[in-house]
Amino acid sequence: MLLRKAVSARCGVQGGFSVALKCNPRFNSGSYVRTVGAASLTKQSATLHPDIGKVLYTQEQLEECLQRLGSQIGRDYADKHVVVIGVLKGGFMFCADLVRHIHPVPSIMEVDFFKASSYGSGMETSGRVKLDSGFDISSLSGKHVLVVEDIVDSGLTLTNVVALLESKGHASSVKVCTLLDKRARRKVQFEADYVGFTCPDEFVVGFGIDYSEMYRFLPYIGVPTEAAIARVAAEADSTRAARMRRLVEDNEVFVSDDERGKEGETAQRG
């Protein structure tokens, strides 16, 4: 029989983000169990990452949001055959959590992922959206598609994704659920069907959302400090520059003076 001796611990992070945790000593090195709600809090939830200056949405707020969206979507798709498509990479965590909260469960619910990327390693959209060519669009025919995204910013990614699914997918319907809607940044008009939070015009990370591939793992959403942004940009620059130098030294690529200039320009933008 398991010895269930729960030890309460109170942990706090910036901005009143404070949660009561229970730690089961049987699983020693800090296996935390949440005192309320269904999802488990990890040790990370209780500790603010040093690169994060401000938490915008705590794990508890995200949990409430998942429950709200899960009920809305469950109601709307109750008797339908739905294919939930998470947009990679940023949508991986939100999509995985969302499907577990959809209630009632639709008649048939498939889950798939689709790679779309436009930000490269920087903080500004490149405006060019690369869509994954390996995805079998014909499999969507006659089904209801729900695209799940972490954030709508300029609106370019989802405009392209939805246009592609509508023109080539022959789905019965295509709707979009986004965790964050940063309306102030729109470059094209785009309205999501389900929105978690309307997000302020700040560069956010966490819960799947990255800056130069960093911070996707955070269980909350926050804003990185200026020092962290500068450090990560410098690291990305030196990695890119080192890769370029290696390729040139190994004679694997010929880089024209023009291209060297562009590389420098990209590096400055981070």
| 91/169 with CB nearer ligand HPA | 91
CA-to-CA dists, residue 258 to 161, 177, 229, 249, 269, angstroms: 33, 42, 28, 18, 17
Q: Which residue is nearest to ligand PRP (CB)?
A: 90
Q: Considering the rule CB under 6 A, would residue 151 count as an interface residue with ligand HPA? A: yes
Binding positions for ligand HPA, 201-230, rule CB under 6 A = 203-205, 209, 211
Q: Which of the stretches 93-101, 113-121, 137-145, 223-231 binds ligand PRP when contact is defined by CB under 6 A?
A: 113-121
Binding partner at 178 among ligand HPA, ligand PRP, none, C-beta below 5 to 8 Å by kind: none
The catalytically annotated residue of 51, 97, 153, 181 is: 153
125 binds ligand PRP (CB under 6 A): yes
Least Å distance, CB 5 to ligand PRP, is: 42
Are β-strands 173-181 and 144-152 bridged in parallel, bridged antiparallel, or unpaired? parallel
Is 153 annotated in the active site? yes
Binding mask 63-102 for ligand PRP (x = CB under 6 A): ------------------------x-xx------------
Q: State the greatest distance between any 2 C-alpha atoms of the chain, in Å, as a whole number.
A: 71
Choose the contact partner of 204 out of ligand HPA, ligand PRP, none; CB within 5 to 8 A by kind: ligand HPA
Q: Which is nearer to ligand HPA, 147 or 209 (CB)?
A: 209
**Residues of this chain that bind ligand HPA (CB under 6 A):** 119, 151, 153, 203-205, 209, 211
Would you name the residues annotated as active-site residues?
Answer: 153
